[in-house]
Amino acid sequence: MPQRTPLYPSHLAAGAKMVDFAGWDMPIHYGSQIEEHHAVRRDAGMFDVSHMCALDLVGADATRWLRRLLANDVAKLAVPGKALYSCMLNESGGVIDDLIVYFFTPENYRIVVNAGTAEKDIAWMRAQLAGFTAELTQRREGPDALAMIAVQGPNAREKFWTAFPAARAATQALGVFQAAEWEGWLVARTGYTGEDGFEIALPAAAAGTAWQKLLDAGIRPCGLGARDTLRLEAGMNLYGQDMDEEITPYEAGLRWTVDMKDAARDFIGKSALVTRQPRNQFQGLLLLDRGVLRAHQKVITPLGTGETTSGSFSPSLNQSIALARLPEGIAPGSEVDVEIRDKRLKARVVKPSFVRNGTPLL
Amino acid sequence: MNTPANLKYAASHEWARLEADGTVTIGITDHAQEALGDIVFLELPAVGRVVKAGEECAVVESVKAASDIYSPVSGEVVEANQAAVDAPESVNADAYAAWLFRIKPAAADQCATELGGLLGADAYAATL
């Protein structure tokens, strides 16, 4: 029996089609995935992301531990509420998960990890806590459980303030990747769509009422289907699909998240990243022929074969796009073939970022 | 779920209609379009291709997934619906109006047997 988020009744009331996602009963769409996609690009949409797992980290060694645990460096977080995206690596440099960490004080952080990997992540993190004075508490279940709602789109913040006028003062000045606490909620200017907006973590008991107010403010409920095409257009990796424990951040287009500046910092996986030669590189594909790219299709290039890791129809470009791992040396602008069923279709290699803030980048 | 009584249905969610001229029109059911979600691409068989009943001969792709379409009857493809190829979303709008392809059966008696092996509207609806 899949688990349900606090917003399960709200989804049913909104006519959602529910599917099992990583053991959670989640909305895939509420009628039309494409219309939900456009709502986020053009106006405002909201997603229930309560299946993701929030963790609180408290203790004297919190900062020292995170600097060991994560490939990105939390030492660069100075302003309370500032967030950082990072991979958590194993000793071989493979990605255990990608996550967001919010800084409050050097002894107090919030970490948000993926739904399907949460148990594995927590087990790994607890094992790494030995010798550190810090405590990790999950906030997904039990009396202190949080719900999380992502409101995304060019009008998302304005509509959020329409729903919650009192929150405006505390959240209006938030920069990108910056969070603030308001009435016990954590409101963060982050997301997974390539659009502006907030991700809000709030007590589970308040979620249903909050969702209704956001609905009343004209924010359209959006399912995991639209979430996937939005993140794909934005060129954002999906854990388990575009990367996993066999793949390093360098092979997943995430070199920018690996912080090597402090030579004295020894994070888990660092030595492997220094010695391990990337086998391939992360690029985008734009299908020139008619058809739809999907994950795990073979890409034929003059320098060898590669593979798509995610692919779909892009509602914003009205054309199919994919993320792919290609041989080193295949540059944006090259034309390659993709094997789809028994055919070879032409695709152009592009930078793996297709649409941002409502605007096609190609 | 909409399952018109004048059509025959395959368990793999195609519908078939015997026309007055002896050809058979084929499409996907309302249930199939609903399950697939927003349809964005159709790959239809070439006119002139000869297919057997149960043969894979078209692909319907939604944002979510690709789905193979099987011909419920044997014969030659005499027409593919270009209007549906140009507007794949028309299959979502009305799966019974937006047909996919038309087969001219090789032999009328074989066709009658093949159509007879398909489900009626109530029997198909009962499988959903």
- Please report, for the domain that includes residue A335, its CATH number: 2.40.30.110
Is A188 in the same domain as A123? no
Contact list, A293 vs chain B (CB under 8 Å): none
Q: What is the mean pLDDT of residues A2-30?
A: 96
Is A47 in the same domain as A180? yes
Residue A304: inside a domain:
yes
Is A128 in the same domain as A163? no
Is A41 in the same domain as A70? no
Contact list, B59 vs chain A (CB under 8 Å): 341
Domain with residue A91: its CATH number is 3.30.70.1400
Domain with residue A211: its CATH number is 3.30.1360.120
Q: What is the mean pLDDT of residues A107-122?
A: 98
In 3D space, the residue among A279, A262, A264, A294 whose CA is nearest the CA of residue A326 turns out to be A279
- Residue A279's pLDDT is 81
Residue A59 CA, chain-centre distance (Å), reads: 27
Residue A51 CA, chain-centre distance (Å), reads: 13
Q: Inspect the interface and report whether the beta carbons of A225 and B63 lie closer than 8 Å.
A: yes
Contact list, B41 vs chain A (CB under 8 Å): 290-292, 313, 320
Is A130 in the same domain as A146? no
For all residues of chain A together, what is the average pLDDT?
A: 97
- Residue B118's pLDDT is 97
HSE-up of residue A137 (Cα within 13 Å, Cβ side): 12
Q: Is residue A137 over pLDDT 90?
A: yes
Is A294 in the same domain as A164? no
Start-to-end CA distance of chain B, whole Å, equals 9
Transcribe B57-126 into DSSP letters: EEEEEESS-EEEEE-SS-EEEEEE-HHHHH-THHHHH-TTTS--EEEEES-HHHHHHHHHTSBPHHHHHH
Residue A241: inside a domain:
no
Q: Inspect the interface and report whether the beta carbons of A292 and B41 lie closer than 8 Å.
A: yes
Reduced to 3 states (helix: H, G, I; strand: E, B; else coil), residue B127 is helix
- Residue A341's pLDDT is 87
Domains of chain B, by residue range, sit at 8-114
Q: Inspect the interface and report whether the beta carbons of A312 and B61 lie closer than 8 Å.
A: no
Residues of chain A with pLDDT > 70, as a percent, come to 100
Q: Is residue A330 over pLDDT 90?
A: yes
- Residue A47's pLDDT is 98
Q: Inspect the interface and report whether the beta carbons of B66 and A32 lie closer than 8 Å.
A: no
Q: Inspect the interface and report whether the beta carbons of B38 and A34 lie closer than 8 Å.
A: yes
Contact list, A229 vs chain B (CB under 8 Å): 63
Residue of A nearest to B41 (CA): A291
Instruction: Identify the contact set of chain B against chain A, taking CB-CB distances under 8 A.
Output: 37-38, 40-41, 43, 59, 61, 63-64, 66
Entry field: residues in chain B: 128
- Residue A362's pLDDT is 83
pLDDT digits (tens, 9 = 90+) for B62-105: 998 899 999 999 999 999 999 999 999 999 999 999 999 999 99
Point out the domain boundary residue: A121, A138, A155: A138
Residue A362: inside a domain:
no
Is A44 in the same domain as A184? yes
Residue A263: inside a domain:
no
Is A186 in the same domain as A332? no
Q: What is the mean pLDDT of residues A41-49?
A: 98
Domain coverage including residue A111: 54-138
- What ipTM score was computed for the predicted complex, to two decimals? 0.83
Measure B24 CA to nearest chain A CA, in Å. 26
For all residues of chain B together, what is the average pLDDT?
A: 96
Reduced to 3 states (helix: H, G, I; strand: E, B; else coil), residue B1 is coil
A40 confidence band (pLDDT: 50, 70, 90): very high
Is A89 in the same domain as A133? yes
Q: Inspect the interface and report whether the beta carbons of A33 and B37 lie closer than 8 Å.
A: yes
Residue A94: inside a domain:
yes
Is A209 in the same domain as A329? no
Which of B36, B43, B64, B68 should we substitute to test contact with A (largest number of A Cβ atoms within 10 Å)?
A: B64
Is A71 in the same domain as A41? no
Residue A258: inside a domain:
no
Is A59 in the same domain as A48? no
Measure A151 CA to nearest chain B CA, in Å. 22
Q: Which two tokens stand for residue B50?
A: 């000869």
User: How many independent structural domains does chain A possess?
Assistant: 3
Residue A22: inside a domain:
yes
Q: Is residue B111 over pLDDT 90?
A: yes
Residue A248: inside a domain:
no
Global pTM reads 0.93
What is the CATH code of the structural domain delimited by B8-114? 2.40.50.100
Burial of A326 (0-12, 13-18, 19+ CB in 10 A): buried
Residue A151 CA, chain-centre distance (Å), reads: 14
- Residue B1's pLDDT is 75
